[in-house]
Amino acid sequence: MQAADSLPPVPAVIAIVTIPSPRLAPGWYITHRMRATIPQYAAAPGLRWKAYTQASGPRTFGGVYEWASRAAADRWFDAAWRERVRTSYRPGGRVRLFEVGAGVEAASLPTTPQPSFSGMAILQPVPQPWATAAGRGALDVLKTATGLLFGRLLRGETGEMAILSVWTSKAQAEAGLARANLPAMDPTTKAESFRVPVFLPPAAVGRSPTP
């Protein structure tokens, strides 16, 4: 799958949500519950796409979302959402929001929901002085990688920088990121990786206008 240059309209926002997995719930059951929410997210105002995620050690589930604006993200992750998650999955979920500075994506993306996916999402922190210029260069390398769905240069709410990449498989993620040679923030900082068992592409999401 080849990728083409694509600069997301400002102010696009990435949200990364992690929620503790129920202790006795097997992974297949969590994936089943994710699939049941596809219509709900397909109708979410301002949502561009969503990669449903699962991770191990510690076990979590959640998602990587791209929203058309910070306002759209805030409306979705409101006080009621946070209270519902806290009550259902103690101690509750974590929502991290990032501004999208630049991005690339596949020239050909799926056009329908993918309820049985085998993808991977990687969040790689990068040094701030490096990220502004060299980060765009890394995206130029990533955009030609086989299996890349999305690459995004991100800035977090406290100024931290990262590159997010979403792939069609773990093997393609490892090969593509090795080729891009992204620098680590420091020896103790590691990339976060998430399995993507369900994927909701842009063409499957309603584009409701947001402020």
pLDDT the model gives residue 185: 67
CA–CA–CA angle 112, 118, 124 (5° rounding): 105
pLDDT the model gives residue 106: 93
What span, in angstroms and rounded, lies between the C-alpha atoms of 156 and 133?
17
| Strand bridging mode 94-106 / 47-55 | unpaired
Query: Which one of 1-5, 56-60, 66-70 scores highest in mean pLDDT?
Result: 66-70
Instruction: Answer whether residue 105 is part of any domain.
Output: yes
Instruction: Answer whether residue 72 is part of any domain.
Output: yes
pLDDT the model gives residue 91: 79
Q: Does the structure show a pLDDT above 50 at 2?
A: no
Q: Which one has a higher pLDDT value, 64 or 126?
A: 64
CATH number for the domain including 144? Answer: 3.30.70.100
Nearest CA to 165 out of 174, 156, 157 is that of: 174
Instruction: Answer whether residue 57 is part of any domain.
Output: yes
pLDDT the model gives residue 138: 87
Per the structure, how many domains does the chain have?
A: 1
pLDDT tens for 91-148 read 789 999 999 999 999 989 999 999 999 999 999 998 888 777 888 888 988 999 999 9
pLDDT more than 90, % of the chain: 64
Nearest CA to 53 out of 14, 99, 107 is that of: 14
pLDDT the model gives residue 25: 85
Whether the CB-CB separation of 8 and 99 falls below 8 Å is answered with: no
Average pLDDT, the chain: 88
Instruction: Answer whether residue 43 is part of any domain.
Output: yes
Instruction: Answer whether residue 48 is part of any domain.
Output: yes
Domain region containing 109: 3-204
pLDDT the model gives residue 184: 73
Instruction: Answer whether residue 177 is part of any domain.
Output: yes
Instruction: Answer whether residue 113 is part of any domain.
Output: yes
Instruction: Answer whether residue 209 is part of any domain.
Output: no
